[in-house]
Amino acid sequence: MDNKAIMAAARTIRGLSIDAIQKANSGHPGLPLGCAELGAMLYGEFLKHDPKKPLWLDRDRFVLSAGHGSMLLYAALHLSSYDISMDDIKSFRQIGSPCAGHPEYGACPGVETTTGPLGQGFATAVGMAIAETMLAARFNTGSGKIFDHYTWVLAGDGCLQEGVASEAASLAGHLGLGKLIVFYDNNSITIDGGTELSFGEDVAARFRAYGWQVLEGDMYDADEIRKLVALAKENKQQPSLIILKSIIGKGSPAVQGSAKAHGAPLGAEEAKIAKKAIGIPNNSEFWVDPEARAFFDKRLGELSAARSVWETLYANWRKKEPELAMELDAMLSGTSMSETAWPQYKQEESLATRAASGAALTAIAKAWPGLVGGSADLTGPNSTKLPGEAYSRNHRAGRMLHYGVREHAMAAISNGLALHGGFRPFCASFLVFSDYLRPSLRLSALMGLPVIYILTHDSVYVGEDGPTHQPVEHLAALRAIPNLLVLRPADAEETNEAWAMAMERRDGPTALILSRQNLGVFPKADPDWKATFRTGAYVAKNCHGEVDIVVMASGSEVELALKAASGLNTKSIRVVSVPSLESFLAQPKEIRNMLVPPEAKIIACEAGRSAWWDGIAHSFLGIERFGESGPGAKVALNLGLSLEALSNMINID
């Protein structure tokens, strides 16, 4: 507890932040200047971590939810001896720099998650905290307590105004995540001005109502902060919100305490004035206080020694618990412990693909110990129930989570589970409500996280719930997200293969788009269809000789296409099932032409908008308007999605 060294580190963080932002002529100096002491204390005292082994299994996780203040993080990581050079800091916000404008997962050692969209980091951290409790419950034994770490967050006013943080905070309080500690940088300033413009609530009262322990103090009283952290750690039953009153842009006389400090460089003249006020030598740029350097060099040795003690404990635990060690290895490597016993189906058997997905999920859970997840209060409709007791504050070993009606937080928490390590998370809702979780899903794709999104009730066949629940534009919208694999299986057998692809995927999320209505299991013309399926399309029904017409369809419309083709014997018709249109379009031209001969007339059929099919098909049968309330089959018929309409389209020369 060296307050002099903490002040030296804070001075360094402020100076590096001023210089990096000024050099880039872009950035947010307000938070790094306002929270420099806290950054120094986090990395100099509070966090259990080892900069030389940044992925150490039992490290504490720190999430800068207010990601615009990224220079605070980069400066603290540099001081701590993470692999971030001064040249990296000097190239802040430039192409190729690990010090991106907002922290980016995978680009910079020590960055646990991508942040920037406010509230996302907060909610993702809840997932990390859940992961720690799950692993501790499953693997801590009398032979060793190998999982025992905290999740720390620094959030600002903007984070706490975003709805995703409210959803996640509510669930965290309900679950009693006592090892989640959130610092609230309470500077009362947003971009537009003082928070009184739009944010007048009692944050402390709100979080107490969520079931959190709320503590309050001064951002610039190091001894008080230490006491508050000790109180937070003592409370094992509640997450803690530590509200610290702060001054945005502290140290810059012209802008501190005002919205001017939020999102622009100080300017060359003000930067000089601020650095002098802070105590940085004249004409010094990218200066590091020698006392801060010495303090963190000493701290590095202490952290390395603590990690070595844990590694000895871990090695002994592995010897004494070989079966648990094998299970943990499988979870950490994202692999199964046995072959998946996929459900088997008979031809013409009829069931909804959501039901087939539920059967596949049960089979996968038996083989993959790292599979965890849940639904946004739709466990039955989504067919996502896992065997055994669900995860709760009283049963941390459960693998099924009850998220409540919180789609956005559910997806962000799933990201946190994946980022923590050890888990392959899934989450589920209706396809139409992918709108509620899309920002978190986008971050899954951006970070390359193998989160599985189960999205059921995939079309107007939802029926009586009406247009609010009938997705029309959602397939096209999901296909627009880079690095998201969208799979819409046409029957139970395809659903098995879709799940297999999702479980094999390591570098991005998968969306499984599933039907509410029953679909018949149909014979596949391609004898190697399971392999071809991975190209995004395969021949479901073939014809003899040259192909005159190709009908391309996905999901339930494959059944419609098969019926139309079977009822028309005057033409050579091929039906191609397209479970993943984007994957098909990404194939080499030779593969695409083999499945869909370019000289043939091409008709596409899908219960949604024509976007993505334009330029592929000569004709399209789909839905270009919102739906209506009524029995699903009648709604589809009324909207023109019918066997007669498709047959007429095929018959037109």
Catalytic residues: 407
Question: Exposed, middle or buried by CB within 10 Å (0-12, 13-18, 19+), for 4?
Answer: exposed
The structure tokens listed for 604 are 């596409």
SS3 at position 297: helix
H or E segment to which residue 22 belongs: helix 3-24
H or E segment to which residue 498 belongs: helix 492-504
The number of C-alpha atoms within 13 Å of 513 and in the hemisphere containing its C-beta is: 32
DSSP letter for each residue of 356-413: HHHHHHHHHHHH-TTEEEEESS-HHHHT-PPSSPPPBTTBTT-SEEE--S-HHHHHHH
Instruction: Give the C-alpha separation, 411 to 414, whole Å.
Output: 5
For residues 395 and 421, is the Cβ–Cβ distance under 8 A? no
Instruction: Give the C-alpha separation, 110 to 76, whole Å.
Output: 10
For residues 243 and 251, is the Cβ–Cβ distance under 8 A? no
SS3 at position 151: strand
Instruction: Give the C-alpha separation, 330 to 24, whole Å.
Output: 44
SS3 at position 526: coil
Q: Which residue has the tokens 């969208």?
A: 486
Q: What angle do CA 171, 502, 603 make, to 5 degrees?
A: 115
For residues 417 and 135, is the Cβ–Cβ distance under 8 A? no
Q: Which residue has the tokens 């998201």?
A: 484
The structure tokens listed for 246 are 């702060």
301 Cβ contact list (under 8 Å, min separation 6): none
64 alpha carbon, distance to own chain's centre: 15
Instruction: Give the C-alpha separation, 261 to 28, whole Å.
Output: 7
Instruction: Read off the amino acid at residue 196.
Output: E
The structure tokens listed for 552 are 């391309």
| Among the listed residues 413, 480, 414, 475, the one whose alpha carbon sits nearest the alpha carbon of residue 450 | 414
For residues 512 and 498, is the Cβ–Cβ distance under 8 A? yes
Instruction: Give the C-alpha separation, 324 to 309, whole Å.
Output: 20
For residues 176 and 436, is the Cβ–Cβ distance under 8 A? no
The structure tokens listed for 120 are 């996302």
Instruction: Give the C-alpha separation, 160 to 184, whole Å.
Output: 9
What is the b/e burial string over 47-62, where b = at least 16 CB atoms within 10 angstroms of the residue's CB? bbbbbeebebbbbbbb
| DSSP single-letter state for residue 431 | G
Instruction: Give the C-alpha separation, 148 to 136, whole Å.
Output: 7
| Among the listed residues 411, 419, 327, 400, the one whose alpha carbon sits nearest the alpha carbon of residue 362 | 400
Q: Which residue has the tokens 């976007």?
A: 611
Instruction: Give the C-alpha separation, 315 to 312, whole Å.
Output: 5
The structure tokens listed for 586 are 């990404």
Q: Are strands 151-156 and 180-186 parallel, antiparallel or unpaired?
A: parallel
Instruction: Read off the amino acid at residue 8.
Output: A
